[in-house]
Structure 1
Amino acid sequence: MRSNMLESMGIFVQVVELRSFTKAADTLQLHRPAVSKSIQQLEDDLGVKLLHRTTRSLSVTAEGDEIYQRAKTLLSDVNEMMASVSPTQPPRGRLRIDAPLALTHTILVPSLSEFRALYPQIEVVLTASDRLTDLISEGIDCVIRLGELADSSFISRRVGNVRMATCAAPSYLEKYGIPMTPDDLIHHKAINFFSEHSREVMEWKFAMNGEVISRNPGSNMLVNNSDVLLSCGLAGLGMLHALQTMLKPHIQSGTLREVLVDYATITKPVSILFPDRRYLSPKVRVFIDWFSDVFERKSQS
């Protein structure tokens, strides 16, 4: 594509967004006749009318609106590409992240102000869920995952591990008693977490006599959302086995009580996945490095 075509598209985008040739000229520090000439040349090159112009108003044609949307995306991609090879330009653009709910609440969101201060030109689009996200079809730049990863065509970076904890509301323990060993869990009711993708119920794993054991308490409820899991536990509906970082504030406040503290739980790995591309945009690269550092600091605190 010719450089003057890109320049004309940039001028056209400014005219559309400001709804004024004069304001666009002022913003771009150009003479108004140069802006008019550029738009006319773009219309001639494309063979369509982009704008309806009168002495008092300016509106975009249907074809002009389509060109505007595509031109804005194209210019954003070009600017991002140029920034990736220019050490003088800070990372910028829209960064789409997906993360599990528990890590979003306890690690990511509490630290995001730091990321925004470091990279003010990056717009964060955050989705939080406990489902398996398709990076490509959903347009996600990178995703934070819990647990062991299945083989995929994506690149993964392990950032650390999170500890699990077993607990219940005091009202539940008063009614059903306190389990003293993992084997006692068979006599209790659990709020179990299941994967929406695989429908598998998460196992409760402990270190016992030098071995890793799995215990599956009788299921009182099955949920596929960690926020709901926590709410059910706080309501005394059953015991739960979840991320210690999510349960810690409630254990400290007394609304939940940790049990089986003499039996180490098996940690879950935390990883970041991103598409396997030769070109990794600066915004993704700096986020991965930043989150890895934040996670390490949070894990040591």
Structure 2
Amino acid sequence: MTWTGLPPACCSLCADAKRLHLRRQRLRMIQDVVCAKLLHPILRFGARGGRDHRQVGALARDLHCDGSNAASAAETASLVSRRLARLEEELGIQLLARTTRGATLTEAGGAFRDYAMGVCAGLDAVREAILPEEDLQGLLRITAPLSFVPTIFAPVIADMAVQHPRLQIHASYSDHYVDLVGGGFDCGIRVGYLEDSNLIAKRVGPIYGSLVASPAYVAAHGAPETLEEFLDHEVLMHGTEAWQLMDGDKAVMVRPQGRLKADNIIALMTAAIAGLGIARLPDGIAHEHLASGALIRVLPQHPLPIAGMFVVRPHSPHPARKVRVFTEMLQNFLGSCPFISKPYSDDQP
């Protein structure tokens, strides 16, 4: 039936309102289905062991990879594809827009991802609340700087895995900035000077640093005695041309120059040991080479400003106990290591 008494503009508004109403109905249906698929297993938890929760949670994490990076969810592409197909058939809505170049989330897919991840986080919090305090389960996904893995993160993660045998831990290491929310991580480690962000941050320890060079470099080029002399030296760069150094109780900015630049601290330390220039290194990473004499400190009267190590996590009304436990273990480890918890001294053994 056509209403001929209404002007065209009014008909257009009515059509837009109808489309908006249908879209809201679809989103509400997604929420209802997600509740049915995720919350109903609580009532059957004893009989089914929460299997549905884990399966739908895994699918939500698959969707969290924005469709084109499903391999990072530790699932085969065919399994993810079957899960998506079953869910899309049940919902009657397309969650992924597929092309020959990949796939991206539709509006409905994004709504499902956000809603399902929130519900799964709530369910995880419920399970943690009713489990014994020492019994951690599920999956903990961590991202951390690659350069600090051997000395700090690998020992802590290994200790956590030993203490909690029912907990799965997936660690991703990179010296590049990692998007926690986009990558589906429970928490991440930030080292240095924390910038303002929408993440919740917990400082777990200090990071002390020094300017270092090899004895061979100092023998060939001398050791700088002042900041002015330092600017005449070959410096190993870490992606930024402006460095902060302490001058008494204030920080000053210097702009050194160098022909070698790397985005990995271990690579810079290797170059410094080889005599290629002066490097800016954390004491916790360089301490063994300082103790052995492979590296020596230069300009000790101008140390680096004290930085920090932070555990960061996305905002959530239900912070996971596994993240809290990891944070506490990392904080305790850092506090027990003399080469991390205080600045390096030439008198250290």
TM-score using structure 1 length: 0.70
1:66 corresponding residue in structure 2: 83
1:283 corresponding residue in structure 2: 322
Q: Does 1:192 align with 2:231?
A: no
Pairing partner for 1:205 from 245, 251, 259 = 245
AA in 1 matched with 2:182? S
| Aligned equivalents of 1:258, 1:218: Cα separation in 2 | 19
AA in 2 matched with 1:253? S
- The DSSP-based 3-state class of the residue aligned with 1:228 is helix
Structure 2 portions without partners, runs of 5+: 1-35, 54-77, 88-115, 343-349
Deviation at 1:10, TM superposition (A): 6.4
| Aligned equivalents of 1:9, 1:267: Cα separation in 2 | 48
Q: Does 1:173 align with 2:190?
A: no
AA in 2 matched with 1:92? Q
Name the structure with the higher helix share. 2
Residues 155, 166 of structure 1: alpha-carbon distance in 2 compared, 3 angstrom cutoff: same
Contact 2:198 2:314 (C-alpha < 8 Å) held by counterparts = yes
The percent of aligned pairs where both chains have the same amino acid is 23
| Aligned equivalents of 1:265, 1:78: Cα separation in 2 | 42
Task: Using the TM superposition, name which of 149-158 and 257-266 deviates more.
Answer: 257-266
| Aligned equivalents of 2:81, 2:218: Cα separation in 1 | 66
2:164 corresponding residue in structure 1: 119
Q: Which has the higher contact order (CA 8 A, sep 6+)?
A: 1
| Aligned equivalents of 1:284, 1:10: Cα separation in 2 | 21
Residues 273, 176 of structure 1: alpha-carbon distance in 2 compared, 3 angstrom cutoff: same
Deviations 1:63-88 (A, max 9, x none): 99638x98xx99x9797344221142
Deviation at 1:12, TM superposition (A): 9.5
- The DSSP-based 3-state class of the residue aligned with 1:212 is strand
AA in 1 matched with 2:132? T
Q: Does 1:183 align with 2:200?
A: no
Residues 118, 10 of structure 1: alpha-carbon distance in 2 compared, 3 angstrom cutoff: closer
2:181 corresponding residue in structure 1: 136
1:260 corresponding residue in structure 2: 299
Deviations 1:258-283 (A, max 9, x none): 11223333111221110100011221
Residues 134, 62 of structure 1: alpha-carbon distance in 2 compared, 3 angstrom cutoff: closer
Deviations 1:270-300 (A, max 9, x none): 2111010001122112111221222222244
Deviation at 1:256, TM superposition (A): 1.3
Task: Using the TM superposition, name which of 128-137 and 117-126 deviates more.
Answer: 117-126
Residues 88, 111 of structure 1: alpha-carbon distance in 2 compared, 3 angstrom cutoff: closer
Deviations 1:4-27 (A, max 9, x none): 7775696899xxxxxxxxxxxxxx
- The DSSP-based 3-state class of the residue aligned with 1:115 is helix
Deviation at 1:156, TM superposition (A): 0.8
AA in 2 matched with 1:193? H
Q: Does 1:85 align with 2:102?
A: no
Contact 1:147 1:268 (C-alpha < 8 Å) held by counterparts = yes
| Aligned equivalents of 2:308, 2:52: Cα separation in 1 | 48
Name the structure with the higher strand share. 1
Matches within 5 A, 1:28-107: 66=83, 80-88=124-132, 90-107=135-152
Structure 1 portions without partners, runs of 5+: 14-60, 195-199
Residues 204, 169 of structure 1: alpha-carbon distance in 2 compared, 3 angstrom cutoff: farther
| Aligned equivalents of 1:233, 1:253: Cα separation in 2 | 14
Contact 1:83 1:91 (C-alpha < 8 Å) held by counterparts = no
Task: Using the TM superposition, name which of 106-115 and 160-169 deviates more.
Answer: 106-115
| Aligned equivalents of 1:62, 1:118: Cα separation in 2 | 31
Task: Using the TM superposition, name which of 76-85 and 152-161 deviates more.
Answer: 76-85
AA in 1 matched with 2:205? G
Q: CA-atom RMSD, angstroms?
A: 3.4
| Aligned equivalents of 2:231, 2:79: Cα separation in 1 | 66
**Number of paired residues?**
247
Pairing partner for 2:193 from 139, 148, 172 = 148
Contact 1:129 1:225 (C-alpha < 8 Å) held by counterparts = no
1:110 corresponding residue in structure 2: 155
| Aligned equivalents of 1:206, 1:226: Cα separation in 2 | 21
| Aligned equivalents of 1:163, 1:245: Cα separation in 2 | 7
AA in 1 matched with 2:266? D
AA in 2 matched with 1:233? A
2:253 corresponding residue in structure 1: 214
| Aligned equivalents of 2:336, 2:330: Cα separation in 1 | 10
